[in-house]
Amino acid sequence: MNKPQPPLYFDNHATTPIDPRVVEAMLPFLKEHFGNAESSQHPYGWKAKAAVEKARVQVADLIGAEGKEILFTSGATESIHSAILGFLEEQSPGRHIITANTEHKATLEVCARAKKFGHEVTVLSADPQGRITAQQVKEAIKPNTAIVSLMHGNNEIGTIHPIAEIGAITSEQGITFHVDAAQTAGKIPIDVRAMKIDLLSISAHKLYGPKGVGALFIRRTSPGVQLAPYIVGGGQERGLRGGTHNVPGIVGLGLACAIAKEGMAEESPRLQAWRDRLIHQIQSSLPDVLLNGDPKNRLCNNVNLTIKGVAPDDLLLGLSDIAYSSGSACTSGTVSHVLQAIHKDPKLLSDPLVVTVRFGLGRFNTADEVETLGRRLIEAVQNARAVSKG
Ligand SMILES: Cc1ncc(COP(=O)(O)O)c(C=O)c1O
């Protein structure tokens, strides 16, 4: 009997499979090199410390920073907390934050918390393609604006924000600029100096590294950004983040960054070509399929479609051999805040015969798999539409 095949994986915005080279590099630090990076009196500690410092430089190299500007965290959520709340703790009360309504919940919830601490928040509205302009940021600036926090690429609809243009404005006005690069680090070249970024959040599991580890870039060129520690304790990470280092995870993050840096120029255009072919394949075969997000300024691996005339459950059944993400309307009762932000017609999202699907292509997909995905989606939509017509 044939073994059942695992579903084809197209949910690379949620998480990426770990690169086998990263696993190999981590293994010795789970086995023989198990030392604590803060143990300064024996070789176990020295080995761990050297590995952590090597990874710090590898992360920095990916974004045009220096090793001493990298803080290791547990992932992008923690980096965002440290960046925004750690920064505001060093400020006087009543400061102003600018963010946007399509941000990841990690940012939106942190801003809501900052509000509780007496700060003011402006949430900019993205346009129907999920875009925020530099002009919008400029117009929202007030005398008490202290920090702008925006994502580089959107995890749902793939829209890429004009980070360098916004950075030019914030740096000119002396406002700190935090960028959530969870979806773009390793996919789009990032140069924190050229883009005038002060704080930048990264997550390893979005770039073929392990889960539970990430980094925060904190600009240290003079005058450096001052942050209060978000997690206090043993004084690790220059006192900014207490807790024993996750040495295997940090080693994995470092190598994941080095691999991404080396391969990006080949990998991103390849995924982008597959992305465009997939969108064309689907839209030329099916009517009533809308592409969400910016068609041009878009993550190289993102396909997000709203499909009319299909019940989400029927599609799910028809596509059980594909791992993807569905931001469907009524069934789960959870229409994503990003779709709500860009779809000005609320009826579209509450229609029980409308479904939104997100496919995230990744390093380990093949051209054949992407072609299969397109074919399977077209069949599944045609069948589901036939069912719903009765
Ligand atoms: C844009 C964005 N920001 C932040 C996060 C949070 O990342 P982590 O899982 O590393 O906490 C994610 C992950 O879903 C994301 O896509």
Q: What tens digit of pLDDT does each residue of 91-147 get? A: 999 999 999 999 999 999 999 999 999 999 999 999 999 999 999 999 999 999 999
% of the chain surpassing 90 pLDDT: 89
The overall average pLDDT reported for the chain is 95
Find the residues whose C-beta lies inside 6 A of ligand 1: 75-77, 104, 106, 151, 155, 180, 182-183, 203, 214
pLDDT at 3: 79
Look at domain 264-389 and name its CATH class. Answer: alpha beta
pLDDT, residue 4, reads 80
CA of 43 to the centre of ligand 1 (A): 35
What CATH number matches the domain at 20-260, 3.40.50.150, 3.40.640.10, 3.40.50.850, 2.60.40.10? 3.40.640.10
pLDDT at position 389: 76
| Residues designated catalytic | 330
Own/partner long-range contacts of 264-267 (Cβ < 8 Å, ≥24 apart): 264/186, 264/187, 264/188, 264/189, 267/187, 267/363
Q: pTM for the full model?
A: 0.96
Q: Which protein residue has the closest C-alpha to ligand 1 atom 12?
A: 182
Question: With contact defined as beta carbons under 8 Å apart, do 137 and 148 qualify?
Answer: yes
Pairing of strands 289-291, 96-100: unpaired
Residue nearest to ligand 1 atom 5, measured at CA: 76
pLDDT digits (tens, 9 = 90+) for 21-63: 999 999 999 999 999 999 999 999 999 999 999 999 999 999 9
Residue intervals in the chain for CATH 3.40.640.10: 20-260
% of the chain at pLDDT higher than 70:
98
Sign of CA dihedral 246, 218, 126, 291: negative
Instruction: Provide the pLDDT for residue 331.
Output: 41
Q: Can you tell me the mean pLDDT for 309-325?
A: 92
**Which pair of structure tokens corresponds to residue 158?**
């793939």
* Mean pLDDT in residue range 315-337: 77
199-203/214-218 β-pairing: antiparallel
The model's confidence at residue 333, banded by pLDDT at 50, 70 and 90, is: low
Q: How far is CA 188 from CA 67, 152, 390, in A?
A: 20, 9, 46
